[in-house]
Amino acid sequence: MIPLSQGPVPATADAVLVGGGINGLATAYELARRGLKNIVVIEQNYIGSGSTGRCGGGIRQQWTTAENIRLAQESVALYEKMSAELGYQVFFRQGGYLMITESEADLPALREAVALQNRCSVPTEFLQPAECLKIVPELDVSRLKGATFCPRDGTAYPFAVVWGYARACHRLGVKIFIRTAVRDILSDDGRVLGVETDRGRISAPVVVNCAGPWARHLAAKVGVELPNRQERHEIMVSESLKPFLDPMVISITNGIYFSQSLRGEIVGGIGDPHEPHWQDPADFDTRSQLRFAVRFARALIQLYPRAAEVRLMRQWAGLYDVTPDHRPILGGVPGLGGYYHICGFSGHGFMLGPVTGRRMAAQITTGHPDEIINSLSLSRFENGDLQTDAFVVG
């Protein structure tokens, strides 16, 4: 059971984090580990109800920008010890990531990515199509042109991760309020003063916007304009099968990805370029669609013919919080002391959340600059310092 706070919100706090997903809870936990005593997490629905609880659980280090690779490396190291650290089983397993392509044109980028990852000490290797069969024996490789594989990539169970963080937060004195909406962020004279919720006002010198798809709307309340937009993405789960698939398989050709959970289900999704984009929360639509089910089933069977015999059991939709360069927006805002945001992960917040929380908590408590956080600040969009990652799929 997750221990939650009851009754009115406290009148004061040392820090308020808005959002009860991986980013809000990991940052709250890391702040508490560093000695901050009076921390409050506000969640408008239930723990993990936003993007975290709707993701596929993948955690990979195969990226094409150094910042994402370094963040992912550190995050994998945290996931490897997470169950022991949090005292809660998060079901992290390292079956690897097999990234495939059906296009010759992608091969130079794949080889360059492997070289960059190897320089960063990520043990990725380039594979010829036939070599993929050593990893996924029943994969149809007839259309494949090449692939990359990193054995240290993996998956974890998203709800177990946020539940583990929530329990660890509680042990460190963090107060978590669910079913509580933030109506406003209070500020004056260039500093945040706290938040106004539907259960009362909290005065606080630090407010961290970890609201995922709602981050843009929340930032606007203090005059901060985020360039984020929201995209609907769907996932489908099959019936349980005997274990047959160790890695996450992901195609940079059509965006399909799939893995097998510890309970035996095939879990996967596929991107759809025809999905609408939103910026206003009033427009958000997370209803499931038959179109997705058909597209995913066809693409899955094409890659893994055995799947034609499998029953698909359920599906759901969530939102990617997407930035123009598909990299997160981290850190504070000049001229508004005490305000920070952790958002814009473009569908990859679960895999990067633990290390982001750790780095952000260190910066908030010490004031020391962090080179990666600085490189991912909001100001890069004004400066034109954009480095779009080539492997944003799903």
318 φ, ψ (degrees, to nearest 5): -140, -175
pLDDT of 287 reads 86
Distant-in-sequence, close-in-space partners of 145: CB < 8 Å, separation ≥ 6: 101, 102, 103, 104, 106, 107, 129
35, burial (CB in 10 Å: exposed 0-12, middle 13-18, buried 19+): exposed
How far apart CA 115 and CA 249 sit, in angstroms, is: 20
Distant-in-sequence, close-in-space partners of 240: CB < 8 Å, separation ≥ 6: 263, 264, 265
How is the chain split into domains, by residue range? 1-92+153-228+323-394, 93-152+230-319
Beta-strand (E) ranges in 241-379?
Answer: 248-251, 257-260, 265-269, 277-278, 312-322, 329-333, 336-343
CA atoms within 13 A on the CB side of 291: 10
How far apart CA 303 and CA 298 sit, in angstroms, is: 9
Are the beta carbons of 117 and 62 closer than 8 angstroms?
A: yes
* Token representation of residue 310: 């499998």
Question: Sign of torsion, CA 35 26 377 285?
Answer: negative
pLDDT of 88 reads 96
**337 DSSP 8-state letter:** E
Two domains, one topology: 1-92+153-228+323-394 and 93-152+230-319: no
What is the chain's pLDDT, residue by residue, as a tens digit (394 residues)?
677 888 889 999 999 999 999 999 999 999 999 999 999 999 999 999 999 999 999 999 999 888 889 999 999 999 999 999 999 999 999 999 999 999 999 999 999 999 999 999 999 999 999 999 999 999 999 999 999 999 999 999 999 999 999 999 999 999 999 999 999 999 999 999 999 999 999 999 999 999 999 999 999 999 999 999 999 999 999 999 999 999 999 999 999 999 999 999 999 999 888 777 778 777 888 888 899 999 999 999 999 999 999 999 999 999 999 999 889 999 999 999 999 999 999 889 999 999 999 999 999 999 999 999 999 999 999 877 666 766 666 5
- Give SS3 for 275: coil
**32 DSSP 8-state letter:** H
Residue carrying structure tokens 């006002």: 201
Question: At the topology level of CATH, where does 1-92+153-228+323-394 sit?
Answer: FAD/NAD(P)-binding domain (3.50.50)
CATH code of 93-152+230-319, in short, is: 3.30.9.10
86 φ, ψ (degrees, to nearest 5): -85, -15
pLDDT of 6 reads 80
Distant-in-sequence, close-in-space partners of 274: CB < 8 Å, separation ≥ 6: none
